Amino acid sequence: MLENRIDQTFAELKAQGKTAFVAYISAGDPDLARSLEVAHALVRAGADIIELGVPFSDPLADGIVNQMAAQRALEAGTTTPGVLDLIRRFRESDAKTPLVLFTYLNPIYTYGFEKFHTDAVKAGADGILNLDLPPDEEAENEELRNAVGLKHIRLIAPTTPDARISTIASQGEGFIYYVCQEGVTGARTELATSIDTQVAKIQEASATPVVVGFGISTPEQAATVAACSDGVVVGSAIVKIVAANGDSAELADKVYDFVKPLVDATKSV
């Protein structure tokens, strides 16, 4: 029996011959209560895994859409403990959907690296993606190694050298996130042409599932990526829907309506 929800989800999808759909939202945007509604709407739309962005004041890897989402969340009073409470409330009615924390090291280190892992697991989180914590640094600092329970998701970029791809991929847990575009997060009108080649290279180096994100915003793009990977990640495009409808009572329905065709396209391959 696989204990971690991420492992369980990918095992089930593999048995079904399906590709995972991973949805990103910024926790606390427009506020924590509405974030909970949106998270449940994502599950209803068919999302297999949800990434929750932990709001941070200096999100350097994020484009303007996700930067503004983090700012709205902070202005709404969202804190790191508040994000963990959001996870607890989500788990009250959903014990299955994997939750991955998408974060920078600063808020986690301030909270206490080991304590954060312990509290996040108790709350119901399954993985963590520290955007600015290289595997090398984690390996060299004992305080960053004494943390268990959360799968540590690794990033690989188009500019990552082959030798380093092998190193990072061999340490992959849960899934490996292939950033298919150079630069910051944000929807793109066209996808990179080398995604299938790069994904194949990563898959040769590791049995850990490979998901692809950064820039995917249409069903057509989702289907293209699904055909050559283990998972499709959509983030900024969903965050835009939240930004446009944050004051609306129909926010969750708007998110559902946008995400459902993306999920259907991902599953159609």
3-state secondary structure of 26: strand
Residue 204 in this model has a pLDDT that exceeds 90: yes
CB 21 within 8 A of CB 48: yes
Choice among 7, 48, 51, 230 that is catalytic: 51
The pTM assigned to this predicted structure is: 0.94
CB 208 within 8 A of CB 24: no
Catalytic site includes residue 126: no
Using pLDDT thresholds of 50, 70 and 90, give the confidence band for residue 190: low
Is residue 31 pLDDT above 90, yes or no?
yes
Q: What's the pLDDT tens digit per position in 48-61?
A: 999 999 999 998 87
Sheet with 20-26, strands from edge to edge, namely 151-152, 127-130, 99-103, 49-53, 20-26, 231-234, 210-213, 176-179, 154-156
Residue 185 has pLDDT above 70, yes or no: no
1 has pLDDT over 50: no
Q: Is 62 a catalytic residue?
A: yes
The residue length of the chain stands at 269
Residues in CB range of 170: below 8 A, 6 or more apart: 205, 206
pLDDT tens-digit series, residues 112-145: 999 999 999 999 999 999 999 888 887 777 777 7
Which is the catalytic residue, given 7, 29, 48, 62? Answer: 62
- Full set of structural domains in the chain with CATH: 5-267 (3.20.20.70)
